[in-house]
């Protein structure tokens, strides 16, 4: 299998967090930090990021798909991920382009595992099947209290299928994200997303600078 991390020349960076954590705004900050160093960057997102993946995303977020069982949700997420990896992420990394992805598999452990109660061992089986040994090199976890995040999202447009979940669901998601950060302290860096935006950006720049130094860039 050509799935080993040794095949990739670029680095794979993911951004994670509950709704309203400001990931999308900070993605631009990460991108700028990398481009300032002359690094070619591809930004993308999950679920989605490929033609088939974006169609799956529409289904996953559609409030009309209310009642979808957790197993279907997990399988659709990994189906979209398989497309994304094959058509976008792996080809970019193999060329030496760095990939910056708004959410990845940590979101499945957090939302479907922590939020919906899916056994993490089942998620791990699909992770091994779809990704082989492919894992992000760096993950920035934007953490803030659930109530603050939901208050920010509430100001946006009509809620999608996930945004319609109750606060308890997001408490489960946040708790699982924090557990992931504790068990992978080298890869996952915690960002306090409850602070004013300039202070969040400053933490992001610091983490990216530290990562660049670690990988010798
Ligand atoms: P967003 O990326 O625009 O915030 O929306 C994607 C939604 O999909 C978000 O509510 C989190 C959810 N999601 C999962 O539940 N599991 C996953 O593995 C991923 C990638 C996203």
Whole-number Å distance between alpha carbons of 105 and 88? 16
Q: Is residue 184 part of a domain?
A: yes
Mean pLDDT computed over every residue of the chain: 95
19 C-alpha to center of ligand 1: Å?
A: 9
Sheet with 41-45, strands from edge to edge, namely 41-45, 98-102, 12-17, 138-143, 188-192
Q: Is residue 2 part of a domain?
A: no
Is the shortest distance between the CB of 56 and ligand 1 below 6 Å?
no
Name the residue with the closest Cα to ligand 1, atom 16.
108
Using the 8-state DSSP alphabet, how is residue 63 labeled? G
Q: Is residue 99 part of a domain?
A: yes
Whole-number Å distance between alpha carbons of 156 and 81? 27
Q: Is residue 165 part of a domain?
A: yes
Is the shortest distance between the CB of 44 and ligand 1 below 6 Å?
no
Split at pLDDT 50, 70, 90, the class of 176 is very high
Domain limits for position 168 = 12-214
Average the pLDDT over 82-92 and give the result: 98
Q: Which of 103, 108, 149 to mutate to test the pocket of ligand 1 (most atoms within 8 A of CB)?
A: 103
| Predicted TM-score of the model (pTM) | 0.96
Q: Is residue 7 part of a domain?
A: no
Token pair of 169, please? 């669901």
Is the shortest distance between the CB of 111 and ligand 1 below 6 Å?
yes
pLDDT at 91: 97
Is the shortest distance between the CB of 165 and ligand 1 below 6 Å?
no
193: domain CATH number is 3.40.50.300
Note the residue count of the chain: 217
pLDDT at 2: 43
150 C-alpha to center of ligand 1: Å?
A: 14
12-17 and 41-45 strand pairing: unpaired
Per-residue b or e along 73-101, where b marks 16 or more CB atoms closer than 10 Å to that residue's CB: bbebbbbbbbbbbeebbbebbeeebbbbb
Whole-number Å distance between alpha carbons of 168 and 70? 16
Q: Is residue 120 part of a domain?
A: yes
Q: Is residue 77 part of a domain?
A: yes
Interior angle at CA 93, CA 52 and CA 50, nearest 5: 10
> In the predicted model, is pLDDT for residue 3 greater than 90?
no
Average the pLDDT over 66-73 and give the result: 96
75 C-alpha to center of ligand 1: Å?
A: 14
pLDDT at 156: 76
Q: How many Å is the Cα radius of gyration of the chain? A: 17
Q: Is residue 191 part of a domain?
A: yes
Quote the number of domains for the chain.
1
pLDDT digits (tens, 9 = 90+) for 119-151: 999 999 999 999 999 999 999 999 999 999 999
């Amino acid at each position: 299998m050509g799935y080993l991390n040794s095949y990739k020349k670029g680095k794979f960076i993911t951004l994670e967090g509950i709704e309203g954590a400001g990931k999308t705004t900070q993605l631009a900050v990460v991108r700028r930090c990398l481009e300032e160093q002359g690094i070619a960057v591809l930004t993308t997102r999950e679920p989605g990021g490929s033609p088939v993946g974006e169609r799956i995303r529409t289904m996953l977020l559609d409030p009309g798909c209310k009642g979808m069982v957790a197993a279907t949700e997990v399988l659709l997420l990994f189906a979209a991920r398989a497309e994304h990896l094959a058509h976008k992420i792996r080809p970019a990394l193999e060329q030496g382009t760095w990939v910056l992805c708004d959410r990845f598999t940590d979101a499945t452990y957090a939302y479907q595992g922590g939020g919906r109660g899916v056994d993490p061992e089942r998620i791990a089986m699909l992770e091994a099947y779809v990704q082989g040994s492919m894992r992000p090199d760096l993950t920035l976890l934007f953490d803030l209290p659930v109530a603050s995040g939901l208050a920010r999202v509430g100001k946006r447009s009509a809620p999608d299928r996930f945004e319609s979940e109750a606060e308890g669901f997001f408490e489960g998601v946040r708790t699982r994200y924090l557990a992931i950060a504790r068990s992978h302290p080298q890869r996952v860096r915690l960002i306090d997303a409850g602070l004013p935006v300039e202070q969040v950006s400053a933490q992001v720049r610091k983490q990216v600078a530290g990562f660049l130094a670690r990988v010798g860039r």
